[in-house]
Amino acid sequence: MVSRSSSSAQSTEDKSTPFSMFSQMTDPTRWLEAMQQWQGHTGAGAALAGLPTGTRVDPDRMLAIQRDYTNGVRQLWQGMLSQGATPALPDRRFAGEAWTGHAPYAFTAAFYLLNARAMLQMAEAIEGEPKVQQRIRFAVSQWVDAMSPANFLATNPEAQQALIESHGESLQHGIQHMLEDLGKGKISHTDDSAFEVGRNLAVTPGDVIYENEYFQLIQYHPLTDKVFARPLLIVPPCINKFYVLDLQPENSLVRYAVEQGHTVMLVSWRNPGNDMADRTWDDYIEHAAIQAIHVTQAVSRQKQINVLGFCVGGTILSTALAVLAARGEHPAASMTLLTAMLDFTDTGVLDVFVDEAHVALREHTIGGQGGTPAGILHGTELANTFSFLRPNDLVWNYVVDNYLKGKSPTPFDILYWNGDSTNLPGPWYCWYLRHTYLQNDLMHPGRLTVCGVPVDFGQLDMPAYLYGSREDHIVPWTTAYASAALLRGDKRFVLGASGHIAGVINPPAKKKRSYWTAETLPAKAEAWLASAQEHPGSWWTDWSAWLAGHGGARKVAPRTTGNAQYQPIEPAPGRYVKARA
Q: 573: cis peptide before it, omega within 30°?
A: yes
- Kindly tell me if the per-residue pLDDT of 533 is higher than 80: yes
Q: What is the pLDDT of residues 57-80, one digit of tens each?
A: 888 999 999 999 999 999 999 988
Query: Where a domain ends, among 121, 138, 155?
Result: 138
Give the contacts of 101 (CB within 8 A, at least 6 positions apart).
86
CA torsion angle for 469, 470, 473, 474 (degrees, to 10)?
30
Indicate whether 93 and 222 sit together in one domain. Answer: no
Q: Is residue 22 part of a domain?
A: yes
Q: Is 250 exposed, middle or buried (0-12, 13-18, 19+ CB in 10 A)?
A: exposed
Pairing of strands 554-556, 226-228: antiparallel
**Is residue 374 a contact partner of residue 425, using CB atoms and an 8 Å limit?**
yes
Asked if the structure places residue 165 within a domain, the reply is no
> Are residues 87 and 216 both part of a single domain?
no
CA atoms within 13 A on the CB side of 410: 3
- The pLDDT tens digits for 345-400 are 999 989 998 999 999 999 999 999 988 999 999 998 988 888 888 999 999 999 99
Specify the 3-state DSSP secondary structure of 544: helix
- 560 and 472 together in one domain: yes
pLDDT of residue 49: 52
Asked if the model's pLDDT at residue 466 lies above 60, the reply is yes
Give the model's confidence band at 9: pLDDT under 50 very low, under 70 low, under 90 confident, else very high. Answer: very low
227 and 108, same structural domain? Answer: no
Give residue 25's pLDDT: 33
CATH number at residue 309: 3.40.50.1820
Tell me the backbone φ, ψ of residue 560, rounded to 5 degrees.
-135, 160
User: How confident is the model over 197-234, as pLDDT tens digits?
Assistant: 999 999 999 999 999 999 999 999 999 999 999 999 99
The whole-number pLDDT of residue 532 equals: 98
Number of structural domains the chain divides into = 2
Rounded CA-CA distance 524/481 in Å is 9
Tell me the C-alpha distance between 58 and 155, whole Å: 35
Same domain assignment for residues 134 and 212: no
- Contact residues for 325 (Cβ-Cβ < 8 A; gap 6+): 456, 459, 460
Residue from 185, 156, 149 nearest 171 by CA:
156
Query: Do 327 and 463 share a domain, yes or no?
Result: yes
| Per-residue pLDDT band at 52 (split at 50, 70, 90) | low
Give the integer Cα–Cα distance in Å for 208 and 231. 16
Query: Could you list the active site residues?
Result: 311
Kind and range of the H or E run holding 102 = none
Q: Are residues 119 and 216 in the same domain?
A: no
Query: In this structure, are residues 560 and 270 in contact, taking their beta carbons and an 8 Å threshold?
Result: no
Classify 363 as helix, strand or coil. helix
Whether residues 549 and 465 share a domain: the answer is: yes
- Look at residue 82 in the predicted model and tell me its pLDDT: 84
Residues 236 and 125 reside in one and the same domain: no
Whether 103 and 220 share a structural domain? no
Residues 155-172 have a mean pLDDT of: 97
- Confidence at residue 54, expressed as pLDDT on a 0 to 100 scale: 72
Is the distance from CB of 285 to CB of 450 less than 8 angstroms? yes
For position 51, what pLDDT does the model report?
Answer: 64
Output the DSSP codes for 113-147.
HHHHHHHHHHHHHEES-HHHHHHHHHHHHHHHHHT
Residue 35 has pLDDT above 70, yes or no: no
Structural domain contains residue 396: no
Does residue 25 lie in a domain region?
yes
| Average per-residue pLDDT for the chain | 91
Same domain, 222 and 97: no
Confidence of residue 189 (pLDDT cuts 50, 70, 90): very high
Q: Could you tell me if residue 499 is inside a domain? A: yes
Q: What angle (nearest 5°) sits at the alpha carbon of residue 126, between those of residues 125 and 127?
A: 110
Phi and psi torsions of 538, nearest 5°: -95, 145
> Is 149 part of any domain?
no
For 110-125, what is each residue's pLDDT tens digit?
A: 999 999 999 999 999 9
Which pLDDT score is estimated for 80? Answer: 87
Q: What is the pLDDT of residue 130?
A: 85
- Give the C-alpha separation, 129 to 109, whole Å: 34
| pLDDT, position 441 | 98
Answer yes or no: are the C-beta atoms of 475 and 339 closer than 8 Å: yes
pLDDT of residue 56: 82
The predicted pLDDT at position 20 comes to 40
State the Cα–Cα distance between residues 423 and 572, nearest whole angstrom. 21
| Angle between the N-to-C axes of helices 103-125 and 130-146, in degrees from 0 to 180, rounded to the nearest 10 | 170
Confidence at residue 272, expressed as pLDDT on a 0 to 100 scale: 97
pLDDT at 6: 35
* Residue 18 pLDDT exceeds 60: no
Q: Torsion-angle region of residue 348: left (phi > 0), alpha (psi -120 to 50) or beta? A: left
Structural domain boundaries enclosing 63: 7-138
Structural domain ending residue among the three candidates 122, 138, 154: 138
Q: State the number of CA atoms in the 13 A half-sphere of 379 facing the CB.
A: 20
Which of 79, 107, 138 is the last residue in one of the domains?
A: 138
The CA distance from 152 to 156, in Å, is 6
pLDDT at 308: 98
Q: Are 324 and 218 members of one domain? A: yes
Name which of 192, 187, 177 is nearest 413 in CA terms: 192
Expressed in percent and rounded to 5, the helix, strand and coil fractions of the chain are: 50, 15, 40
Amino acid at 523: A
Predicted confidence (pLDDT) at residue 3 exceeds the cutoff of 70: no
Half-sphere exposure at residue 225, Cβ-oriented, CA atoms within 13 angstroms: 0
Q: Is residue 289 part of a domain?
A: yes
For residue 153, tell me if it sits in a domain: no
Q: How far apart are the first and last CA of the chain?
A: 48
Percentage of the chain surpassing pLDDT 90?
82
By the 8 A CB rule, do 192 and 416 touch? yes
Q: Which of 40-54, 132-146, 371-385, 462-476 comes out lowest in average pLDDT?
A: 40-54
CB 187 within 8 A of CB 430: no
Torsion angle, alpha carbons of 570, 572, 577, 579, to 10: -40
Give 427's Cβ-side CA count (13 Å radius). Answer: 16
Per-residue pLDDT at 13 exceeds 50: no
Nearest alpha carbon to residue 547 among 105, 234, 100: 234
Whether the CB-CB separation of 246 and 576 falls below 8 Å is answered with no
Q: What is the pLDDT of residues 534-553, one digit of tens each?
A: 999 999 999 999 999 999 99
